[in-house]
Chain A
């Protein structure tokens, strides 16, 4: 019962935050609201008994990515007045509204066939989950099944993930890391002329 109440409160906050993000024009406020959005999603993951995912969402979504966005905002110059004129509206607001309503109702219709949350005969529970739950403790002696699957059963998968993170760091270093070269004051031809 308490789960339902917390779910409703969190989802209401999520909807409010996303509407506020859409209507906000101040980039700083938008970044902050994105952080709040991630924190609310982390709360939802806790309610759904997935603390591992909640940890990641809170630390990466609400923490690191907000800081990275702020660091980027500090680099981007923000003029007081927009330097462009608002484009004249080429279409009425009805068309997007209808598209959104049709897509949304199709998605809601799709959820009718999905088994209930935590239902034992859901396809995700009947395939390999049963094997992991029954065998992870005798096989690895690790009570946290998530860790057992992540590091032992699917260790090769996780090695790939770590390599992806390493590659991302290398790519960022190559793109924007290190010192920027100072613009050359004279071209090589001019220097050659000076020396001559």
Chain B
């Protein structure tokens, strides 16, 4: 790929902002609009922009494929694990009330963890889709 100075400079400036915005959407989803799904997609968009500008090989050095597969499964495990944890604590599946000292704290922690699981799975799944499609053209 022919290096393009303008693209490189703009991408290096914009990518940290996109990741920061994704983290804001992820962890501020309780109060503002957004949540795990949107944050995951925005997060993966930053990496897709990186690999479009700097090439697939460079992007794969940052996040290797086996990491993405582990992360995609990890998100589902976190989500289902919160449910099992609440079962162990003696309430219904995915009822977060007993996770904290009172109901509000428990719900808060539960929602935060569940949204984190959603975000991790969505971000990894989107990147898996992108690398699978874009990686076909190289052979």
Closest chain-A Cβ to B8's Cβ sits at a distance in Å of 19
Q: Is the CB of B76 within 8 A of A163?
A: yes
Given contact pairs A59-B45, A147-B115, A151-B115, A67 touches B72 in the complex (Cβ within 8 A): no
Chain B 102-139, CB-CB to A under 8 Å as 1, else 0, gives 01100110110011011001101110111011111101
Q: Per DSSP, are chain B's interface residues mostly helix, strand or loop, or mixed? A: helix
Q: Is the CB of A67 within 8 A of B41?
A: no
Stretch at the interface among A33-41, A48-56, A188-196: A48-56
Q: Is the CB of B38 within 8 A of A59?
A: yes
Which residues 95-109 in A have Cβ within 8 Å of B in the complex? none
Q: Is the CB of A59 within 8 A of B76?
A: no
A142→B25 CA distance, assembly (Å): 15
Tell me, yes or no, whether A155 is within 8 Å of chain B by CB: yes
Q: Is the CB of B76 within 8 A of A141?
A: no
Query: Which A residues are CB-close (under 8 A) to B25?
Result: 55
Tell me, yes or no, whether B53 is within 8 Å of chain A by CB: no
Tell me, yes or no, whether A89 is within 8 Å of chain B by CB: no
Q: Is the CB of A177 within 8 A of B79?
A: no
Q: Is the CB of B108 within 8 A of A140?
A: yes
Instruction: Give me the interface of A with B, judged by CB distance under 8 Å.
Output: 51-52, 54-56, 59-60, 63-64, 67-68, 71-72, 74-75, 139-144, 146-148, 150-152, 155-156, 158-159, 161-163, 165-166, 168-170, 172-173, 176-177, 179-180
Query: Which A residues are CB-close (under 8 A) to B136?
Result: 71, 75, 176
Q: Is the CB of B29 within 8 A of A139?
A: no
Given contact pairs A162-B76, A166-B75, A176 touches B30 in the complex (Cβ within 8 A): no
The interface centre, meaning the residue of A139, A151, A155, A173 with most chain B CB atoms within 10 A of its CB, is: A151
Given contact pairs A52-B33, A56-B38, A163-B76, A152 touches B107 in the complex (Cβ within 8 A): yes
A62→B31 CA distance, assembly (Å): 25
Query: Which A residues are CB-close (under 8 A) to B114?
Result: 151, 155, 158
Partner of B111, one of A67, A142, A156, A169: A142
